[in-house]
Structure 1
Amino acid sequence: MSEEENKPKRTVRITLDRKFGVSEAPERRPRRNDDERGSFGDKPSFRGDRGDRRFDRDRGDRRFDRGERRFDRDNRDENREGRPFNREERRGGGRFDRDRRPRRFGDKPFNRGPRGAMNAPVYRQRPEQKEAIDENLDEAALEARAAQIEAVEDAGSTPPWFKRLIACTTEKGREREGKFLGEGVHVVEELVKHHRELVISVYVVEGFENEELIEAINEAEITLHTLTEDQMKRLSSTMTTQGIIAYCNIASKKPVYETSRSVLTLVDAVQDPGNLGTLFRTSLGFNSSGMILGRGTVSPFNPKVVRGSSGTFLRVPFEFDVDLVDQINFLRSKGYTIIATDLHAKQSLREIPAHKLRKMAFLVGNEGAGTNPYFIELADETVKIPMSSELESLNVAVAHGILSYEAAQIQEELK
């Protein structure tokens, strides 16, 4: 035997302290009964160095014992105060709903889409509005109302003076009586201030409170009458009255064509009273020499035209129910350049030679059909308003306003 084999063998005993890299097979624990078993999904427990488990299920005094913890499944339908939860309340505004959790700077709000999707885009919408009601009564409604009043056989129930007022709410009645009605505070102020000679009388509703206007009417020595609410509604061309109406004679000033050095407007079959009222206001604003209303154009004494112009239509010289063919030839003989608006025109107003723009007469047409092609053929020049190709045409009142402004600038430069 070798010397190494004869040496005595030594046994080294090492006590392991269960540190890193050392493990022992776990002791087999006895099977627990049903009362000791955990529910499905419970995590296994681990013993520490001192043998006390942090979350030992076998201990009855553990911190989150199933029988005592706040959010026990058996007590899930009750909140802290013991009040039963409403499911809708819990879903929409419960204490632990994600939408109600504390937000920090930079957090995005939780927005639910139609199917509960989070962070869906929010679209700001206007509040729902009631359907707009037309404040104006149409001509047919006014005609029917006047006919109903005239058909009353008992003369005592409807006095003659009131019948005359009712007649002025229709086109036929205005032509027969030779009178028109100016309705509204601003219209009456304008008529009393600038056309006192045309105002026959003024009617106000009981309790009318504009003392300043009442004083102006009295100073102008205009007769003032009082109407009931029902009578005022029967005279008004709107759903809501302002409580005052002037009863006036039909009259107008004729344009002075020979000495005029400004712009005239020829109106071909414009039928919207609001548009015609705006044409009058624009003409007054840019010192127009006057307006010529061709046949088929709404009457300038229509209550809606009077109101649309705020009563200023009488300050613009005008003729109405005119044959435009004869008028175009007449104006040309007086040195006017007839300029028609046309979508197919190749030039703007400023591209016309300057000597033709000293005396201008614009020809504007119907809202839907435009200017009569025959009148366009009679015109000396056709112009277009430069604008985006996305839009086919402009409203007649808007187009007239643009041309009137440009014409005023051109004539100022030519002085």
Structure 2
Amino acid sequence: MNVEKMESLDDPRLAPYRGLSNSRKYRTSGLLIAESRFLVERLLSSTLAVESILVDDLSKTPDLPAGREATPIYCLPRDQLQELVGFNFHRGVMACGRRPVLSDLQQIAWPDSERLTLIIAAQVVDPENLGSLIRASSAFGADALLIDDRCGDPYSRRALRVSTGHAFKIPIVETSNLLDQLNVARSLDFQLIATVLDESATPLKKETVRHRRTALLFGNEGFGLEADLVAMADRRVTIPMSRGSDSLNVSMAAGVFLYHYGYML
């Protein structure tokens, strides 16, 4: 095990952990930070590259799975670690990993399956909502996510915490041209289904047959899907609600849609 007690906060090897409250820098850096033993272990068990692990006590060193034995582990006393990261961090262990670089659906190694499900998110800006959406997508069997660059950061500390590390388990494609990627999805034989709040749309319970490759589109927390995205869809589907309710949290809605289409013939 490659463990080293750090002598200085200025050590360049600690640079990825410095000033974690400035989360914006990580989206363009190619790095991510996993906090807590649980998330670190999920990162270590994934296929993502892990740059290093940082602990505030050697007793908190996580077990390294096969193939990860050479991962550098740095130890820094808690008071110094908190000074380094810039907030009161008390979980004792974090790790720096490399983000996957996926910007096109054609980069995905799709499972060899007759049925594929793709989740598409447009302008889901809140990192907790995005983290919940990732968790629901992974848990209910989606094969990949496609998000636009107006969404929150799927690998931010908050999103990773809420996703419980499921962002390490499912391919996430980030694009600056969502309309172009919808055309790519269509070329891959995905049927595009816009999830909308519209009484004229098809009620979900009337959807009894699904296309073998189904893509579900979800929009912004406040205003839903923009008109150009809805126009691109093959179908519009809605969840009827009671007591005057006009919307569901995006991750809750995704869970309902995924469960329904997951068990459809």
Task: Give TM-score scaled by structure 2 length.
Answer: 0.83
Are the counterparts in 2 of residues 292 and 322 from structure 1 also a CA contact under 8 Å?
no
1:23-50 CA-partner distances (Å, limit 9, x unpaired): xxxxxxxxxxxxxxxxxxxxxxxxxxxx
CA distance in 1 between partners of 2:65 and 2:184 (Å):
44
Where does residue 323 of structure 1 map in the other structure? 177
Map residues 3-402 of structure 1 onto 2, 5 A cutoff: 158-166=10-18, 170-175=22-27, 177-195=29-47, 198-206=49-57, 209-210=59-60, 214=61, 216-217=63-64, 220-221=68-69, 222-234=71-83, 239-251=88-100, 254-256=107-109, 261-344=115-198, 345-352=200-207, 354=209, 356-402=210-256
- Compared with structure 1, are the counterparts of its residues 231 and 406 closer, same or farther at alpha carbon in structure 2 (3 Å cutoff)? farther
For residue 289 of structure 1, report the CA deviation from its aligned partner. 1.3
What are the ranges of 5 or more consecutive residues in structure 2 without an aligned counterpart? Answer: 1-7
Q: Larger relative contact order (C-alpha < 8 A, sep ≥ 6)?
A: 2
AA aligned opposite 1:327: Q
Task: Find the counterpart in structure 1 of residue 3 from structure 2.
Answer: none
Question: Could you tell me which amino acid in structure 2 is paired with residue 405 of structure 1?
Answer: Y
Preserved CA contact (<8 Å) 1:271 1:366: yes
RMSD value, Cα:
2.6
Summarize the Cα distance change of 1:234–1:406 in structure 2 as closer, same or farther, 3 Å threshold: farther
Letter in 2 for 1:246: A
Separation of aligned partners in 1, 2:65 and 2:242: 53
How far apart, in 2, do the equivalents of 1:186 and 1:215 lie? Answer: 9
Question: Is the Cα contact below 8 Å between 1:252 and 1:314 reproduced in 2?
Answer: no
Cα distance 1:218–1:346, how it changes in 2: closer, same or farther (>3 A)?
closer
- Equivalent residue pairs, number: 250
- Please report how far the alpha carbon of residue 188 of structure 1 lies from its aligned counterpart in structure 2 after TM superposition: 0.6
Gaps of 5+ in 1: 1-155
Structure 1 residue 357 displacement after superposition: 2.7
Q: What's the CA shift for 1:359?
A: 1.5
Segment drifting more, 292-301 vs 224-233: 224-233
Q: Quick one: distance in 1 between partners of 2:65 and 2:238?
A: 50
**Distance (whole Å) between structure 1 residues aligned to residue 159 and residue 177 of structure 2:** 21
Q: Which amino acid is the alignment partner of residue 160 of structure 1?
A: P
Identity of aligned residues (%): 27
Taking the aligned partners of 1:238 and 1:392, their CA distance within structure 2 comes to 38
CA 1:268–1:177 in structure 2 vs 1: closer, same or farther (change >3 Å)? Answer: closer
1:279-320 CA distance string (max 9 Å, x none):
111111122110001120112221111121122212101211
- Measured after TM superposition, the shift of residue 164 of structure 1 is 3.5
Contact 2:130 2:251 in 1 (8 A): yes
Q: Return the offset for 1:239.
A: 4.7
| Deviation, structure 1 residue 187 | 0.2
The answer for the alignment partner of 2:5 in structure 1 is none
CA distance in 2 between partners of 1:238 and 1:386 (Å): 44
8 Å contact from structure 2 (residues 44, 65) kept in 1 = no
The Cα offsets for residues 309-345 of structure 1, whole Å up to 9 and x where unpaired, read as 1222121012113411111122122221111111114
Q: Distance in 2 between matches of 1:373 and 1:205?
A: 50
Q: Within 2, Cα distance between the matches of 1:209 and 1:258?
A: 39
Give the Cα separation in 2 of the matches to 1:365 and 1:193. Answer: 31
